[in-house]
Structures are given as structure tokens and as C-alpha cells.
Amino acid sequence: MADAITAVFDTVAATAPDIRAGLSGRRSYGDTENPSGERQLAADEYADELLERRLLALDSVASYASEERAGVTESDGGTYHVACDPLDGSSNLRSNNAMGTIVGVYDEPLPASGRSLVASAFVLFGPITTMVTAREETATESVIEDGQRRAVTEDLRIPEDPTVYGFGGRVPDWSAAFTEFARDIEQTLKLRYGGAMIGDVNQVLTYGGLFAYPALDGAPDGKLRLQFEGNPIAFIVEAAGGRSSDGSRSLLDVPADGLHQRVPVHLGNETLVDRLEAALA
């Protein structure tokens, strides 16, 4: 299993410079929408095509699915089922802010429970390109140089003392219970919300705190997708000693009932997620 997962991680790392190099000329919206009804940037489609081709070329990969396409692409063999958000936070491209790639490696056909993840990773295009990977309950942060991973933090752990928070959605659309919880959090933590989940989650992994894209009035399942965003990032945060929740349980325990199902997402320090669940109960 380790060799197959290493091959997936290495392929994603090797593709990161190509995705990053292709961003500047692909900042315009095409006339297509993804299965979640969101407009697609040329960069979304470019990253998706690169990752599909290169990941399906691996013997160990049985299928590829992404946020950008309706169905699953099968290959003729392989063991693992890969779910990608090829360009998480792509709306940040026009404003030149953080974005990146999320990959989940499942050992069951998709859609699948987060408990069938065997590995996951995200690549973050910030001032430098970094990659956080998780497997066997351990998270690792690497710098990507010339498409190669160089580990800089072997056993990444979320800091004990939280200092930052970032909550998505419009404040008037938050539930009364979440609003009250947020007002309490605002008294002690510093706001860090940049509009790309992986950029905001990386702040939480670096400084400790809480990221949420909660249930909203009119969108009870929030915005983020379980297969491509919620599960893979929850797998990483929990491997780093944090917690995840849909509001009442780990995201990894949320039943998979659709490839593009949305889920309320809350990720960060265990104490804060516990407080959140108590506030929403």
C-alpha cells in the first residue's frame, strides 16, 4: 500500500508546477458549470485534465473522480479510487490569493465513506508551494521544489493553543446557534479567512484554531463537498491531532450518499470542535 500511495503523492507533487504555471493564462470563466452548478474557470478544467490523465496512468489507481465532472472515470485495473478538487479556491485566482489541489485516496468505489480513505493530501499555492500528506494516522508537511517533495515537518501536529479562526458563508445566513458560537470565538481568536479552504485550514494547522463552512439558512448542507473537500481534509486534520465535524460527528462518519453531496464542515482543535458540537446540539 505504501508504494502505491507514494506514487499518488509523487504524481500530485510532480503535477503541481504544471498547474501553477498554467494559472496565469487561464483566469477567465468558460461557459460551463461544474456538477455543483458553479462556473468553471479554464484553470479548473486544465488542472482536472492533467490530474486525471496522470493519476489514471498509475497501475494502482482504479478510478478518478473530481469536483469538476459529473461521473467517475474508471481505468482497467488498480486498487484505489481517487477523488480530486483540482483547484480548491479557484475563485481566488482573479484576486491572486491562495488556492491549491486536494486529493483523497479511497479503497472503496466512490462515493465512499471517509473511513475508507487510506491517504489524502493537499497542495497549497502560496508564496511557496507546499504539500501536506496524511496516511497511517500521520501528517507530513513538505515543500515542493521542481516537482519533488522535500519533507519539512515529519509529524505535523496542530498546536495545542488555538489562535486563529475562519468561518465561511454570509453572517446573516448563519444559524442562531452558530452565530452565538462565532461571537464567543471572536472574543479570543484572530480572524483568518481567505476564501480558499486549504489556505484557511493551513492557517489552523500552523497556528491552531478552527475553520468552518457551516450549514446556512437556505443551504442546510453548507457549500463544501464531502468526497472532494470534507473527507480528505478531515483525514489530514485528524491525523494531525485535531477533530472534524459536520456539526455532530466526525466528517469521516458521514454516510456517503452522492458523489457531489455537500456537508457542513468544521475542522480544528479538538476542544473547539467539541465546544462547537455542544453549541449546535
Q: How far is the CB of 177 from ligand FBP (least distance, A)?
A: 20
Q: How far is the CB of 182 from ligand FBP (least distance, A)?
A: 14
Give yes or no for residue 67 binding ligand FBP (CB under 6 A): yes
Contact code string over 214-243 relative to ligand FBP, x by CB under 6 A: ---------x--------------------
Contact code string over 138-177 relative to ligand FBP, x by CB under 6 A: ------------------------------x---------
Q: Residue 166 or 208: which CB sits closer to ligand FBP?
A: 166
Q: How far is the CB of 21 from ligand FBP (least distance, A)?
A: 19
11, 15, 40, 90: which one contacts ligand FBP (CB under 6 A)? 90
Q: Residue 26 or 223: which CB sits closer to ligand FBP?
A: 223
Give yes or no for residue 89 binding ligand FBP (CB under 6 A): yes
What residues are paired with 157 via a beta bridge? Answer: none
Give yes or no for residue 88 binding ligand FBP (CB under 6 A): yes
Give yes or no for residue 22 binding ligand FBP (CB under 6 A): no
- For residues 227 and 237, give the distance between their C-alpha atoms in angstroms, rounded to a whole number: 15
Give yes or no for residue 196 binding ligand FBP (CB under 6 A): yes
Contact 232, 121 (CB under 8 A): yes
Which residues in 30-59 contact ligand FBP (CB under 6 A)? 38
Q: How far is the CB of 89 from ligand FBP (least distance, A)?
A: 4
The residue count for binding ligand FBP (CB under 6 A) is 13
Give yes or no for residue 209 binding ligand FBP (CB under 6 A): no
Q: Residue 170 or 183: which CB sits closer to ligand FBP?
A: 170
- Mind spelling out the 3-state secondary structure of the chain? CHHHHHHHHHHHHHHHHHHHHCCCCCCCEEEEECCCCCEEEHHHHHHHHHHHHHHHCCCCEEEEEECCCCCCEECCCCCEEEEEEEEECHHHCCCCCCEEEEEEEECCCCCCCHHHEEEEEEEEECCCEEEEEEECCEEEEEEEECCEEEEEECCCCCCCCCCEEEECCCHHHECHHHHHHHHHHHCCCEECCCCCHHHHHHHHHHHCEEEEECCECCECCCCCEHHHHHHHHHHHHHHCCCEEECCCCCHHHCCCCCCCCECCEEEECHHHHHHHHHHHC
Contact footprint for ligand FBP (CB under 6 A):
38, 67, 85, 88-91, 168, 195-197, 213, 223
